[in-house]
Structure 1
Amino acid sequence: RCEVGDDSPQLPRQRRARETDEGGRGLFLVNRLARRWGATRLSTGKVVWFEMATRSQ
């Protein structure tokens, strides 16, 4: 399980990036590659996490 945190209380949302956009593809990639992912609000911001499948899964 990998977790990344920041101090923003706003939960992430997946969006559709245009070809010319420099950002906006992170959750698209996580959603395509991870077995599970989610986000949790904390008193100091949030944590976004994901789990990758192992070879045996």
Structure 2
Amino acid sequence: MADSLQTGIRNYRKYESGHANPTLEGLVKIADILNVSTDYLLCRDDFLKSAVAASDEH
């Protein structure tokens, strides 16, 4: 993954441990590699699903 992101293994380990955050471009690359949305990576997918469900009720 670090190679795909063109970053060092130390830096990538910081992402995994929560001691650093990837850049916006890095976040998009991670999402593309894992075939998920950036919302999923940011733990916002449940929020979006609940917002859609609430709008469907009205």
**TM-score between the two structures when normalised by the length of structure 1:** 0.22
Q: Larger % of strand: which? A: 1
Structure exhibiting the larger radius of gyration computed from Cα positions = 2
More relative contact order in 1 or in 2 (CA 8 Å, sep 6+)?
1
Q: Larger % of helix: which? A: 2
**TM-score between the two structures when normalised by the length of structure 2:** 0.22
